[in-house]
Amino acid sequence: MLLISLAVPIATAFFIVNMAWPGKDSFKSEFAVKACLSIGLGLGLSSWLFFICLVFFGAVTKYFILLDIILLAACLVLFIFKKKNAFNFDLKPEFPSPESPSLDRKCFNYFLYAGFIILSLITIISFVLRVLNDPHGSWDAWNIYNLGARFIFRGSAEWATAFSSLYDWSLPDYPLLIQGNVARIWSYVGYETLMAPVSQAFLFISATVMLTVFSLSRLQNKNQGLIAGMVLLGTPFFIYNGSSLIADVPVGFYILATVVLHCFIDEGTKKKPGLIFICGFMAGLAAWTKNEGLLLIISIYFARFIVITLQKGPEAFFKEAVIFTSGLTPVLIIIAYFKFQLASPNIVYLQDQLASPVTLIFNQNFNALFNSLTDISKYIIIGKTFIVKFYELEKWMLIVFPVFILLMGRSDKNLNNPGIYTSLLILMIMICGYFTVFLVYPLDNLQWLLETTVRRLLLQILPSLIFVFFLIIAAPEETA
Amino acid sequence: MKQLLLKNKILIRSKKIRVYVITAMVILIAVTAGVGNCLKEIKFLQLIGGTDDITLFENNFEHIRRILPPFGIIGYYSDKKYDARTFCLTRYTLSPRIIVQGIEHPFVIGNFSRFKKPGEFAKAHHLSIMETVDKNIVLFKKRSE
């Protein structure tokens, strides 16, 4: 049942991604990229649907399983209907190589494959060991995510009480993608099993690594994709955090998915409304995973406004923004409903919220804000922490980046793809956003806040940073 | 001409070596980090002896879970200064019941240091001991006046 609960939404998402994908020539073309995107989309979509059922029926019922199956069948029928006349099973290879590789190239490929497989095995062992040590996950995992899932699953009609004012210690306004999905899997299985959050975490880690590898293989070069994947797998905190069953890796996946999708959207001249719609939905899912996703949405609008307006004019931006927003809206609606109707149902809670540090940021007077923004010492502290934490995140792997720039140089392959500039802008705006939040943070415990959050925030954008870096850097084939 | 060809060959060879070196570097760093991570986890696994503290905590509360009503508010009292973890674990274990600080509820979980006796506490606050979870944690019930 556990497998079915995961397979049904992922299969549904796969058909949706296939329908949205431009070009009708092949079911299998770019199969790997579509499959990776489907994992995140499927898990997000199922959580979204489960929450709607929860609100609609008032408690966990088995109706949502029926709805899952109906949706899968509908997507399958639509997919077959759309592709009926366009199937082409005489497939071109996924990553075509123009010439047969030389012996040297073959050796290099084997070398890379061996490295990647060994690293993947080490990662799996590391994941299993971490889960054995902490089957309930880290503090945040059981105190926020598993607790939320238990409230939904065990709570019956009383589930919403968990997110009321009485429970503000466990951050009741945290979005519900992770908690909702765990409760959904438990409802499928019929009992609580720690395998639900564990398999979800494993899927998100794998999907993030594989999306990095396959999207780079498709957009840049197969070997470049494998190297990028190894850099990600060689980041111990990425595996540690992912296997701690918390939401940083999932939100990192959705950030990566939007960045990758923008590169696909901007590749070539063909319009791709389906991909823009999916991209909007993915951005929404990032916000349904963690509040940081809201910053991603703002960053995307800003980045696209700059890139598209400069390239094609404001009209083209507005056209794209409409499609993007229509993908985003279904998720934003449930986020708004959850935050305003369920997570803060009474005045006492709102008053508590007004006293919280986050609200204090917006409640500062102009003088206090001006002082914060002109305080050089704050810039130094925050900047230093960002650098130190990025080193702590990557450790020795940090050497790889300048060495790659020096030895490999810039790639000429994707220079005309505005998606790269969009991705860079999104990441820059997100980093600036994080920086500004710390800068205007009004309380005295800034150092503590930086210590506890910066590494996790950087981890969320790390897969996207690695993806963009290796998209810009020349591949081994270009150099050798 | 021959010199030029040789120069070209050396250049290509040096580029190939460069690619191999940088790839080997990535693999080496990544494998070292991954193995280091595994060793750390193995050490920790040996230290905890196979059972994590949350599972042990939940096992201790199994009986209390059966006694308590399935929903509602449960009070929580502790005389310990740093008690956030036990409080959160109690809330996690007993969910979907809501655990709040205070003793004015029909059921109260008490978490005591060695300086305070649960029996005396119960007497002073019109409570009766229902169940003892371990030497520190006790479930009280409000006595009718």
Please name the residue of chain B whose CA is at the shortest distance from the CA of residue A116.
Answer: B27
SS3 B51: coil
Q: Is the dihedral of CA A6, A8, A14, A20 positive or negative?
A: negative
Give chain B's mean pLDDT: 84
Q: Cβ contacts (< 8 Å) between B19 and chain A: which residues?
A: 108, 408, 476, 479-480
Contact B96 A123 (CB under 8 A): no
Contact B37 A155 (CB under 8 A): no
pLDDT at B15: 74
Note the maximum CA span of chain A.
72
Q: Cβ contacts (< 8 Å) between B96 and chain A: which residues?
A: 150-151, 154-156, 158-159, 161-162
pLDDT at A346: 45
pLDDT at A103: 61
Percent of chain B with pLDDT over 70: 99
pLDDT at A90: 46
Residue with tokens 């409903």, as numbered in its chain: A337
Q: Cβ contacts (< 8 Å) between B91 and chain A: which residues?
A: 147, 170
Q: Cβ contacts (< 8 Å) between A394 and chain B: which residues?
A: none
pLDDT band per the 50, 70, 90 thresholds, residue B2: confident
CA distance A126 to A40: 22
SS3 B105: coil
Contact B12 A480 (CB under 8 A): yes
Higher-pLDDT residue of B53 and A416 is B53
Q: Give the tokens for residue A150.
A: 């238990």
DSSP B102: B
Where b means 16+ CB within 10 Å and e means fewer, B25-61 reads: bbbebbbebbeebbebbeeeeeeeeeebebeebbeeb
Q: Say if CB A480 and CB A270 are below 8 A apart.
A: no
pLDDT at A441: 82
Please name the residue of chain B whose CA is at the shortest distance from the CA of residue A164.
Answer: B98
> In chain A, which stretches have pLDDT less than 50?
89-95, 97-98, 345-351, 353-355
Interface of A with B in 186-215 (CB under 8 A): none
Q: How far is CA B21 from CA A106, A403, A466, A471, B25, in A?
A: 16, 10, 20, 20, 6
Distance from CA of A475 to the nearest CA of B (A): 9
Q: How far is CA A429 from CA A287, A388, A421, A453, B20, in A?
A: 16, 20, 12, 18, 35
Ramachandran angles phi, psi of A164, nearest 5°: -85, -175
The pairing of strands B73-78 and B107-111 is parallel
Query: Chain B within 8 Å of A272 (Cβ-Cβ)?
Result: no
Ramachandran angles phi, psi of B101, nearest 5°: -70, 135
pLDDT band per the 50, 70, 90 thresholds, residue B47: confident
Q: How far is CA A266 from CA A271, A275, A312, A417, A421, in A?
A: 8, 10, 12, 6, 10
SS3 track for A86-128: CCCCCCCCCCCCCCCCCHHHHHHHHHHHHHHHHHHHHHHHHHH
Residue among A120, A158, A198, A348 with most chain B CBs within 10 A, to mutate: A158
pLDDT at A64: 84
Q: Is the dihedral of CA A338, A343, A347, A352 positive or negative?
A: negative
Residue among A129, A223, A237, A392 with most chain B CBs within 10 A, to mutate: A129
Please name the residue of chain A whose CA is at the shortest distance from the CA of residue B14.
Answer: A480
Q: Give the tokens for residue A139.
A: 């503090």
Q: Is A137 left (phi over 0), alpha (psi -120 to 50) or beta?
A: left
Contact A108 B19 (CB under 8 A): yes
pLDDT at A318: 93
Distance from CA of A154 to the nearest CA of B (A): 6
Query: Chain B within 8 Å of A427 (Cβ-Cβ)?
Result: no
Peptide bond into B96 cis (omega under 30): yes
pTM: 0.90
Distance from CA of A102 to the nearest CA of B (A): 13
pLDDT at A387: 93
**What's the pLDDT tens digit per position in B9-36?**
777 777 778 888 888 888 999 999 999 9
Contact A142 B54 (CB under 8 A): yes
Ramachandran angles phi, psi of A115, nearest 5°: -60, -45
Q: Cβ contacts (< 8 Å) between A155 and chain B: which residues?
A: 71, 95-96
Residue pairs spanning A and B at CB distance below 8 A: 141
Q: Give the tokens for residue B139.
A: 């479930």
